[in-house]
Chains A and B, each alone.
Chain A
Amino acid sequence: MAAEHVVVIEDLVKEYPVRGADDTVQLVALDAVNLSVERGEILGIMGESGCGKSTLAKVLLRLEPPTSGRVEVDSEDIARLTKSQAREYPRKVQMVFQDPYAALAPRMRVGAALEEPLAIHQIGDKPQRRQRVEELLALVGLDKSLAGRYPHQLSGGQRQRVNIARALALDPEVLVLDEPVSALDVSVQAQVLNLLREVHQRLGVTYLFISHDLRVVRYLCERVGVMYLGSIVEDGPSEAVFASPMHPYTLALLHSIPDHQAAEGGTVSFRLKGEVPNPIDRPTGCAFHPRCPMAQAICTLQRPPLRPVGGKRFSACHFAEDVPELGRQLAQEATVS
């Protein structure tokens, strides 16, 4: 069964040195992340800015080495790859970035941008690569005539399609998507989300979908990991997590989203106080305790591990089992008021 996991992350820590006034301190961007990704699944990673979700993506792409801990892709420790394995690594894991404008070289035609990864990895001869470029364009719903265009001649949605096509050029096992629809307008966002779903159904590639938008994550992802201050605080099937969170942070996030389909008159009554603390000054015990409405003495002292709470679900809260009841109370309050 272990082979079912394409990515296995164990106690992953990533620290960045930050020069302070007197000495250098360590900013802990990833604080013991544990996460396994099944082959072919769509895993959403959600959290607010500074939670470490983009750092996680960088480590997975080998753009940043981990400080400690292990990341395995296809059962190989990505920190200990041989030179030739490292060269081949981009064929396994690819990335789609948030800003479709910045991610494409402005002076490279679309066709050339799509062909480049194939040329670098010496896949096929020129006519075969041309053929592949046409296939890729068709895959993301673009006309093959666009191959001759420059990025500035494309709309934001078209550019993001090109980025997706380029990330798929090498037929990767894992596609890391870092906020791929955040820069797009609502109507275009829907087009790209539908495309991502179609591509997933057709190719079965594993998605790691990073987003701050809970509504988008809920829609696209089968499973979701919620991050707070460098750690996964809740992990489980999307349906279950969104229906009944088992970490107070997830519950609070759900209650913070302005939702235009919310029941009318249903006022939001559960708000997070304060802001995400500076990762240099990580609170003791549970990192979430200063903002948590459920916090008790133990939360300031003992850091709760990410533990199984039934039904393929995990929560890093001492009182995970009490959260669904709080959720029910809040839902009731909302319908009464």
Chain B
Amino acid sequence: MSEQTQPRLAVRNLTTVFHTRAGRFVAVDDISFDVYPGECLGIVGESGSGKSVAALSIMGLVDYPGQIEAGRIEYAGTDLRTLSENQLRRVRGEEIGIIFQDPQTSLNPLFTVGTQLVDVVRAHRKISKSEAAALAIEKMKLVGISAPESRMKSYPWELSGGQRQRIAIAMALLLGPKLIIADEPTTALDVSIQAQIVDLLISLKNELDFSLIFVSHDLGVIQNVANRVMVMYAGRMMETGEVGSLFRDPYHPYTAALLASAPTLRTNRSEPLQAIDGRLPSPGKLPPGCVFAPRCQYVQEDCRVRQPLLESIGDAGRRVACIHPLIALPDEVHV
């Protein structure tokens, strides 16, 4: 990624809150990131980390009682937050496509696949039904649906989970968007199908040159698919950087702990897993200072008082929100 390229999407100081009877919950707390043409940005985190809300905020898809409270979401130079609902509807689908975790919820069970795909095209373009159908069939071929003509007549429930997710991807691609947001697109699928869908998304991205935001809780999937990754915890960005270097040398204790706690095919079976003690803070009661401090094994006194800012450290593009990152800095002596 050359530094000169303009980002396709630039998110600045995004803050999304939920107003509930129990109070005001900050789901996404002041995060900023860029997505460049042709790259895949992975957003990884556990449940409640705000990763999905961050992704949905981009599309303006956060429903009541959620609300984007602050920030800019610049797509191709326009702040999407200044657009009217009608203008935003144009952007969704034509510029930005979305794929959800469960294709069962993004496809209507009462209509055939063909009807739904044609409707999407005709909502955006003034073309005939047969032209729209031809476009739908073309995209279905692209995502590896065999016999797409006859599949057009199928209802979503007649398809397997993997096929449904392929249809959902075809739907997201219909109008040739330049950015695809995929929210846990493989989580509901079996391992062998999950691998097929990941392969498909990577090859489509390379072929069609769209940018991809891939949200997942699965570190392995993120490593396979993403170029850059941001790690979220309790609504905040903990660390971001190139996938390879970040997974090899995590500087944030949370990233390191997350990587160490998930068993892999190389984990030593005779030792206990390095679990992270405690649990995610409840969103209404965030600790002062660093949100990870109560569970951090490297915690020091100042961590509980001062909220760390995301700062550039080490290799290119790496930013870490930690007062005592896991890297020996020349100007700091670790105890």
Interface-side segment among B54-62, B271-279, B309-317: B271-279
Q: Does A188 contact B (CB under 8 A)?
A: yes
Contacts of A256 in B (CB 8 A): 191-192, 194-195
Give the distance in Å from the alpha carbon of A276 to the alpha carbon of B196 in the complex: 13
Contact B263–A260 (Cβ < 8 Å):
no
Contact A219–B263 (Cβ < 8 Å):
yes
Contacts of B244 in A (CB 8 A): 264
Contact A218–B258 (Cβ < 8 Å):
no
Contacts of B134 in A (CB 8 A): none
Contact A275–B261 (Cβ < 8 Å):
no
The B-contacting residues of A in range 42-62, CB under 8 angstroms, are 48-49
Q: Does B334 contact A (CB under 8 A)?
A: no
The A-contacting residues of B in range 246-266, CB under 8 angstroms, are 247-248, 257-259, 261-266
The B-contacting residues of A in range 216-275, CB under 8 angstroms, are 216, 218-219, 238-239, 242, 252-262, 264, 268, 271-272, 275
What's the minimum C-beta distance from B79 to chain A, rounded to whole angstroms?
34
Contact B265–A215 (Cβ < 8 Å):
yes
Contact A275–B162 (Cβ < 8 Å):
yes
Contacts of B258 in A (CB 8 A): 186-187
**What is the number of contacts between chain A and chain B, taking CB atoms within 8 Å?**
122
Contacts of A258 in B (CB 8 A): 194-195, 198, 218, 220-221, 223-224
**Residue-wise interface mask of B (191-206) relative to A, using a CB-CB cutoff of 8 A (1 in contact, 0 not):** 1111110110000000
What's the minimum C-beta distance from A219 to chain B, rounded to whole angstroms?
4
Contact A185–B46 (Cβ < 8 Å):
yes
- A187 with B265: in contact, given A256-B194, A275-B160, A275-B193 (CB under 8 Å)? no
**Residue-wise interface mask of B (224-247) relative to A, using a CB-CB cutoff of 8 A (1 in contact, 0 not):** 100000000000000000001001
Identify the A interface with B (CB < 8 A).
48-49, 155, 157, 185-191, 193-194, 197, 212, 214-216, 218-219, 238-239, 242, 252-262, 264, 268, 271-272, 275-276
Contact B273–A219 (Cβ < 8 Å):
yes
Contact A218–B192 (Cβ < 8 Å):
no
Q: Among B259, B264, B273, which residue has the most Cβ atoms of chain A within 10 A?
A: B273
Contacts of B261 in A (CB 8 A): 186-187, 189-190
Contact B275–A194 (Cβ < 8 Å):
yes
Contact of B265 among A188, A193, A214, A252 (CB under 8 A): A214
Contact A218–B190 (Cβ < 8 Å):
no
Q: Among A48, A212, A255, which residue has the most Cβ atoms of chain B within 10 A?
A: A48
Give the distance in Å from the alpha carbon of A214 to the alpha carbon of B193 in the complex: 15
What's the minimum C-beta distance from B229 to chain A, rounded to whole angstroms?
10
Give the distance in Å from the alpha carbon of A303 to the alpha carbon of B259 in the complex: 42
Contacts of B193 in A (CB 8 A): 48, 275
Contact A262–B223 (Cβ < 8 Å):
yes
- A257 with B217: in contact, given A186-B46, A252-B192 (CB under 8 Å)? no
Contact of A257 among B248, B265, B276, B280 (CB under 8 A): B265
Q: Does B269 contact A (CB under 8 A)?
A: yes
Give the distance in Å from the alpha carbon of A144 to the alpha carbon of B176 in the complex: 58
Identify the B interface with A (CB < 8 A).
46-47, 160, 162-163, 190-196, 198-199, 217-224, 244, 247-248, 257-259, 261-267, 269, 272-277, 279-280
- A260 with B217: in contact, given A185-B47, A186-B261 (CB under 8 Å)? no
Contacts of A276 in B (CB 8 A): 190
Contacts of B192 in A (CB 8 A): 48, 252-253, 256, 271-272, 275
Contacts of B267 in A (CB 8 A): 215, 218-219
What's the minimum C-beta distance from B217 to chain A, rounded to whole angstroms?
7
- A271 with B195: in contact, given A155-B279, A260-B223 (CB under 8 Å)? yes
Give the distance in Å from the alpha carbon of A91 to the alpha carbon of B154 in the complex: 49
Contact B220–A259 (Cβ < 8 Å):
yes
Give the distance in Å from the alpha carbon of A256 to the alpha carbon of B221 in the complex: 10
- A186 with B219: in contact, given A194-B272, A194-B273 (CB under 8 Å)? yes
Contact A212–B190 (Cβ < 8 Å):
yes
10 contacts between A and B (CB under 8 A): A48-B191, A187-B257, A214-B191, A216-B263, A253-B191, A257-B265, A258-B218, A259-B266, A271-B196, A272-B195
Closest residue to A188 on the B side, CB-wise? B279
Contact A215–B217 (Cβ < 8 Å):
no
Contacts of A238 in B (CB 8 A): 269
Contact of B190 among A49, A194, A260, A262 (CB under 8 A): A49
- A259 with B264: in contact, given A48-B191, A276-B190 (CB under 8 Å)? yes
- A190 with B262: in contact, given A185-B217, A268-B195, A276-B190 (CB under 8 Å)? yes
Contacts of A257 in B (CB 8 A): 191, 195, 220, 265
What are the 3 tightest A-B residue pairs by CB atom distance, in nearest-first order?
Answer: A258-B220, A190-B275, A187-B276
Contact A215–B262 (Cβ < 8 Å):
yes
Give the distance in Å from the alpha carbon of A197 to the alpha carbon of B267 in the complex: 15
What's the minimum C-beta distance from B210 to chain A, rounded to whole angstroms?
21
- A260 with B265: in contact, given A186-B217, A275-B160 (CB under 8 Å)? no
Contacts of B280 in A (CB 8 A): 185
Contacts of A218 in B (CB 8 A): 263, 265, 267, 269
Contact A197–B259 (Cβ < 8 Å):
no
Contacts of B248 in A (CB 8 A): 264
Give the distance in Å from the alpha carbon of A239 to the alpha carbon of B267 in the complex: 12
Q: Among A219, A255, A272, which residue has the most Cβ atoms of chain B within 10 A?
A: A219
Contacts of A185 in B (CB 8 A): 46-47, 217, 280
- A48 with B190: in contact, given A242-B265, A260-B247 (CB under 8 Å)? yes
